[in-house]
Structure 1
Amino acid sequence: MIIAVHAAWLLSLWVFGRDQPVNVVALASYLVLQCLRFWVIWTLGSRWTTRIIVPSEQPLVSAGPYRFLSHPNYAVVAGEIAVLPLVLDLPLLAVIFTILNAAVLAIRIQTENRALAASRVCVAHNV
């Protein structure tokens, strides 16, 4: 579902935004989000992946942006989904895809949290 929402978002940006003027302030906000994304990826290092993988017997990452948020990459993605359409003066796309993205991320985050909780139970019980 995440792939479908993001693909539809990108396609919509291409179809509706290719001849739009660029809002420089929104573009600057988008570039700040990219810096935050690199911080997330740098912090996770080899543990960064799009799949839900919980390495056994490794502590949760608590450095970098993870000191402040449990899921900072998803915060960046939510910001991107909202801001990039505004770069192209497409506020309706920003609203529609922010709502769709929130729905799929709610499912994803719940699934990740269950996987993390299960791994902590297994480690605590030496399973």
Structure 2
Amino acid sequence: MLFFVIISLVIAQRLIEVLIAKRNEKRMFAQGAYEVGASHYPYMLALHSSFFVSLFAEVLYFERSISLIFPVLFVIFLIVQALRIWCLTSLGQFWNTKIIILPGSNVIKTGPYRFIRHPNYVIVCMEILLLPLMFQAYLTALVFTCLNFAMLLVRIPQEEKALREATDYKSDF
């Protein structure tokens, strides 16, 4: 029961974020923005959707239960969710699930972006690891951590390149 409540809340959060992203996307396109990396975006959607399918399947098929260290993992997960909201609110209208560039705008360097270049990606990595571990879904944790890492090896360089070309953004990479 706890599994269904937590996962349902996370999925609801993701659906709300998609609505926010769509709103921000429309607003930015109206201001002259353009999308970069559209070719990998369907794969990213498939990865994140498959993550939840795999998590459900592993927990239900193998009758996984909460981990012995669930309370610790859950507290870390809640902290990660607060950080996720901090990322979203720091980017404001620029936050999106796609790489959307608005020429002439400044790169956000406030909030968690003051400390780390891509905090939202770090948070997603932590979620993909924490959620399965909370319910002993070790296969899902391993497979999707690796798949997400591979996706970020494509996505981050595309985002960095687009930001450098469209803004005064300087990369430390």
TM-score, normalized by length of structure 1? 0.89
Whole-angstrom CA distance in 2 between matches of 1:87 and 1:31: 12
**Aligned twin of 1:83:** 130
Q: Does 1:43 align with 2:90?
A: yes
**Aligned twin of 2:111:** 64
**Aligned twin of 1:95:** 142
Alpha-carbon deviations, 1:39-65, whole Å to 9, x = none?
000101111111211222111100000
**Aligned twin of 1:21:** 65
Aligned-residue offset at 1:11: 0.3
- SS in structure 1 opposite 2:75? helix
Aligned-residue offset at 1:12: 0.8
**Number of aligned residue pairs:** 122
**Aligned twin of 2:15:** none
Structure 2 gaps of 5+ residues are: 1-42, 169-173
Are the aligned partners of 1:44 and 1:61 in contact in 2 as well (CA < 8 Å)? yes
Whole-angstrom CA distance in 2 between matches of 1:37 and 1:25: 18
Q: How many percent of aligned residue pairs carry the same amino acid? A: 36
TM-score, normalized by length of structure 2? 0.66
**What is the root-mean-square deviation of aligned Cα atoms in Å?**
1.6
Structure 1 gaps of 5+ residues are: 122-127
Are the aligned partners of 1:2 and 1:105 in contact in 2 as well (CA < 8 Å)? no
Whole-angstrom CA distance in 2 between matches of 1:8 and 1:53: 24
Aligned-partner residue type, residue 44 of structure 2: I
**Aligned twin of 2:53:** 11
Aligned-partner residue type, residue 64 of structure 2: Q
Alpha-carbon deviations, 1:100-125, whole Å to 9, x = none?
0000011111111111111137xxxx
